[in-house]
Amino acid sequence: MKEFLKKNWFFKSLVLFVLINITLVIYNSFILKQRKYEYRKFLEKQRLSSEQPRFIPNTNVDFYGLPCPELTEYSTTGEKIDLKSYIGNIILIRFSRFYRQDLANLVYLQHLADKYHDQNVSLIFISSLGIYDKEAVEKIVKLTSPIIEDDGLIAAMFNAFPEDLIIVDRNFTIKFKFHRASSFLIYDEVTKWTFKEQPRNILITNDNLARTIQNLAFYDIFNEEKRKINPLHNKSVVLTLFTSACTGCEESYRIDQLKKLAGNVNIDKFEIIILFGKGNNKEAIKQYAIQNKWDEFPITIGVIDDFNEMTEMEYYQIYQLDTDPKSFIINPLGDIRFIETRRASKLINSNFLKRQLK
């Protein structure tokens, strides 16, 4: 064996490489645990050094059903935010580092808050990195809800980490706290607490929805012009709505399926349209589309950038937000042949959509 090891230098190098990597994995695991421990200690130290009474973070406390901590801070625009003044509202508190990969989730929340604004749903963003880089964010999306820069004290009050969402009910009680909640789960929780004591809005009929979709105006980013879905030039349309461009998430699967569909249907008979909702920067969407080679496929990419052609109510009748993305299939007469539901979304791929077009 010794003679073999002396002669076989490759085997010795491989063993050494494996041992070094095992050591690094163990070391990195230890360092990560140590940093998490030190971070919690840091937050606790900041809380104790504050002159104001703070909510004591405790991982053993059941957050649900507890009164919401009182918070008075100023937003990045200088607006005074006093959580107690929101009593009677449903309050959504979302912690974020505002990294690009999280922005699509924030836009979805902004859509929900806007849609249910008349039901007194309020949204507040907390910048977990402290300083909020407005210029960098607005190159991609525009958020309209207040943003508070956090030095660690707010995170300690709510025992929260970046990408945590907290929902506070109308009685100022915490009803939901979740890390990286899916849009399905968020939609269910927001509507559950919003409509707990009042009926939910009835969705419009398919006929009215079809007319609203046909008149939907959007900016075509590749042709650089404003257009409507109607007239369709005797084509069927596969329309997919995204609240925002998502980087590296499960929604990118839908884009891949639409690319496959585009390569397998007669473009003289069908049109595939992807529309991004309000709040998205047109140039950022175009850049993202080119980067992902969407321009190499016969797919129309658009952004809805104003409400000149429709009311906000009509907009949210189309962007129903129960699924994101949401697909429709419209025949040449303008009738809706298919509306994506949560159950149907699990089935959707290029073959499924192609069958619906027949």
Q: Are residues 176 and 211 in the same domain?
A: no
Q: Is residue 52 part of a domain?
A: no
The whole-number pLDDT of residue 17 equals 65
Q: Is residue 21 part of a domain?
A: no
Closest CA to 329 of 316, 340, 345: 340
Distances (CA, A) of 263 to 239, 294, 326: 16, 12, 21
Q: Are residues 185 and 210 in the same domain?
A: no
Tens of pLDDT, residues 141-169: 999 999 999 999 999 999 899 999 999 99
Which of 148, 169, 194 is the last residue before a domain boundary? 194
Q: Are residues 177 and 102 in the same domain?
A: yes
State the DSSP H helix or E strand holding residue 175, giving kind and residue range, or none if neither: strand 174-179
Q: Is residue 286 part of a domain?
A: yes
pLDDT band, residue 70 (cuts 50/70/90): very high
pLDDT band, residue 53 (cuts 50/70/90): very low
Tell me how long the chain is.
358
Q: Are residues 96 and 211 in the same domain?
A: no
Q: Are residues 170 and 211 in the same domain?
A: no
Q: Are residues 341 and 236 in the same domain?
A: yes
The whole-number pLDDT of residue 30 equals 57
Which of 156, 173, 194 is the last residue before a domain boundary? 194
The whole-number pLDDT of residue 306 equals 65
- pLDDT surpassing 80 at residue 45: no
Q: Which domain holds residue 93?
A: 72-194
- Residue 252 sits in a domain whose CATH number is 3.40.30.10
Q: Is residue 16 part of a domain?
A: no
Judge contact between 213 and 238, C-beta under 8 A: no
CA pair distance 264, 174, nearest whole angstrom: 49
Distances (CA, A) of 136 to 56, 105, 132, 284, 287: 34, 17, 9, 11, 15
The whole-number pLDDT of residue 105 equals 94
Which of 160, 194, 228 is the last residue before a domain boundary? 194
